[in-house]
């Protein structure tokens, strides 16, 4: 029995391409990285912003929210809720050490 050569995977786009382009134009990632001191925290904030703009979710539900979307459009798909919480802590007080 042969496996089919193609597998169709449905992924939503929604408003993410518009938000991505806008965030790139205003260089949001660069500004956040400069303000927060580290690019990884800034990258973790972007999916939170997109989640708030599209459909507000609890912090622990970000992965479930991002699942139907194209991973290329949702930055930081590999971040867990702990990393997102640390990024939020860093955004609240950029000079405070984060464990």
- Spatial CA neighbour of 75 closest among 34, 31, 35, 16: 16
The stretch 71-88 carries a mean pLDDT of: 72
> Helices 28-36 & 39-54, crossing angle to 10 degrees?
130
The stretch 69-83 carries a mean pLDDT of: 70
| Residue 28 pLDDT | 92
- pLDDT tens digits along 7-36: 877 778 888 889 989 999 999 999 988 888
Residue 81 β-bridge partners: none
Q: By CB neighbour count within 10 A (0-12 exposed, 13-18 middle, 19+ buried), where does 85 fall?
A: middle
């Amino acid at each position: 029995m042969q496996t089919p050569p193609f597998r169709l995977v449905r992924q939503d786009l929604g408003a993410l391409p518009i938000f991505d382009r806008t965030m790139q134009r205003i260089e949001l990632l660069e500004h956040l990285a400069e303000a927060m001191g580290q690019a990884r925290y800034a990258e973790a904030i972007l999916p939170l912003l997109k989640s708030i703009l599209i459909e507000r979710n609890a912090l622990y539900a970000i992965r479930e929210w991002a699942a139907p979307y194209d991973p290329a459009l949702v930055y930081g798909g590999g971040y867990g809720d702990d990393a997102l919480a640390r990024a939020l802590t860093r955004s609240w007080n950029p000079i405070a050490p984060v464990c």
